[in-house]
Chain A
Amino acid sequence: MSILVLAELDGNKLKGLAAHVVSAATAWQKPIDLLVYGSQVEEAAKEAATLSGVARVLVAQADHFAHPLVEDVQDLVLSIAKEYDVIVSAHSVLGKSVIPAIAARLDVAPITDVVEIHAPSSYVRPEYAGNIFSHVENHQALQIVTVRNTAFRPVATDGNAEVVSISAPLSRAISNWIKEDLNHSDRPELGSARVVIAGGRSLGESFEALLSPIAEKLDAAIGATRACVDAGFAPNDLQVGQTGTLIAPDLYIAVGISGAMQHIAGIKDSKVVVAINHDPDAPIFKYADYGVIADLFTALPELDKALQ
């Protein structure tokens, strides 16, 4: 028996998530098959084959995977599930959507958002927006798991796995993809950036103008609080926190952010946290490593200048 890891594509490329999920899956010390599906999978399959620890790359190519729908991914995984005793995916939008569905059809309870694995069947997962860590013992023979990618270091890319084609079941066609509105940016991706600078609602209309020159100098991704997104000052894919992106940068700079529990839930894995806030009692200072009590409208231009 072995382990099945689900990969995801971004266009025709393999998402960086796969290297983290494979790393998590090595906890079981069994052969790992990495499943790659898409409409054009050649490039991604090649990348997948280099991930260290992967025994085989299973490739399912079908037109309907150009924009994978939950039902179709379910059917694909279920068509090969009986060969595995562990199924692992990232706790990504797709993983969150598809893994519980697959598990239910196998009459299995999945263990989601895992940050530690003690093979074969014990896990640690955050609850209560990251305020509690619970140790879970799974009593089921089949382990179906999603992992928080920031909790697992990516594997190296010096592998050379065998690539095997598999056939995909037909699309069930009970749903259709219509369109996507994605924000394209040349900045590093929020979920994997080494440096993140984020602002709260107090930045107002000058959110982008204040943060982007600094982000450029630091090669940082930009993040925002929910209050800032809700006020329309930042697009919603920049939201950091419990209901936004979970980040784990080496350096996180929080500017004009109060430090609400739901925001903190998304930044807990950051190595160094810096907070700039004019309120000395702002809760963010409890979580930060370094603080500057200052007005952001003077502090940010100063920071920009100092980095020149």
Chain B
Amino acid sequence: MKVLVAVKHAVDHNLKPFVDATTGQVDLSQARRVINPFDEISIEEAVRLKERGLVTEIVAVSIGGADAKDSLRHAYAMGADRALLVETDVRLQPLSVAKLLKVIVEREQPGLIFLGKQAVGEDYGQTGQMLAALLGVGLGTFASALQLKDGSVEVTREVDKGTQTISLQLPAVLTSDLRLNEPRFIKLPNLMMAKKKAIETLAAGELGIDLANRFTVIKSNEPPQKPGAVQLASVSELISTLRKAEVLQ
């Protein structure tokens, strides 16, 4: 069975973003980009399935600029078999990304399709759900464990007060949650090897999809900073202060 993994070249989650005062927009010009952490988890899961002989081929797909090849190389270094870049210089919104991924899914015919539960940055958390709906296939969001069966997959999902297990007919779309696995550490030789591998490139504009944005971010702002804690000498002082402030009875 073939597995397709969507990989976003996303803003590093350790980075504290800031707003450019003149444009009123988040300044990403210097922002380091890396593979979206949830997509790294997806690749890891696909590789583990392949190591257990349940999967024959792993195709990593990214939509973005030429720099997204870095994340595809990361996928190669972890064990992906093929990488595909749908190239565009425009920052696409999730609906367009889902439509482009649908084109690739129809071409590749994977049995299982992994996306991340959200991409760090805009934190939309939409693309996987949209892709499943457009394909008319089953959807398992927030996957924290899975088990392949004959023609189906059993997915354990993180829900409000615990977990839920559902079974989906294949093909199906899953969105990876943090606890699905712990991605492996990439060894340097693997990374060197990944640099030599070919990345097939398609132009996003030539796939017959309407890529127009549906909403506009007018401006962004950073939340007001708090002044910092009033330090209290002891727990008893804390309690008397909270009582005085009528936070505690």
Contacts and interface: CB of A to CB of B under 8 A. Distances in A.
Contacts of A261: 16
A131 B223 contact: yes
B177 interface: yes
B188 interface: no
B239 A306 contact: yes
Q: Is the interface of A mostly helix, strand, loop or mixed?
A: mixed
Contacts of B124: 112
A1 B144 CA distance: 40
A110 B126 contact: yes
B26 A127 contact: yes
Which of B117, B160, B223, B236 has the most A CB atoms < 10 Å from its CB? B160
Nearest to A242: B123
B13 interface: yes
Contacts of B142: 93, 97
Contact of A104 (B16, B133, B220): B133
A122 B231 CA distance: 40
Contacts of B177: 243
Contact of A292 (B19, B226, B235): B235
A288 B140 CA distance: 37
A96 B125 contact: yes
A140 B16 contact: no
Interface in A259-303: 261-262, 268, 271-276, 285-294, 299, 302-303
Interface string B110-151: 000000010011111111011111100111111010000000
B217 A135 contact: yes
Given A93-B142, A138-B215, A175 B235 contact: no
Interface in A70-110: 70-71, 74, 92-93, 96-105, 107-110
A50 B144 CA distance: 37
Contact of B138 (A135, A175, A184, A307): A175
Contacts, number: 236
Given A100-B133, A174-B137, A128 B241 contact: no
Which of B129, B216, B222 has the most A CB atoms < 10 Å from its CB? B129
Contact of A97 (B129, B169, B218, B237): B129
B167 A288 contact: no
A291 B229 contact: yes
Nearest to A110: B126
Interface residues of B, number: 79
Nearest to B182: A230
Interface in A239-268: 242-243, 250-251, 261-262, 268
B220 A175 contact: no
Interface residues of A, number: 86
Contacts of A275: 229
A63 interface: no
Interface of A: 67, 69-71, 74, 92-93, 96-105, 107-113, 122, 126-140, 174-184, 191, 218, 226, 230, 235-237, 242-243, 250-251, 261-262, 268, 271-276, 285-294, 299, 302-303, 306-307
Interface of B: 11, 13, 16-17, 19, 26, 93-95, 98, 117, 120-127, 129-134, 137-142, 144, 154, 157-169, 172, 177-179, 214-223, 225-226, 228-239, 241-242, 245, 247-248
17 contacts: A70-B141, A104-B133, A110-B126, A127-B26, A128-B121, A129-B13, A132-B17, A133-B220, A174-B137, A179-B164, A180-B165, A191-B160, A237-B158, A273-B229, A287-B229, A288-B226, A291-B232
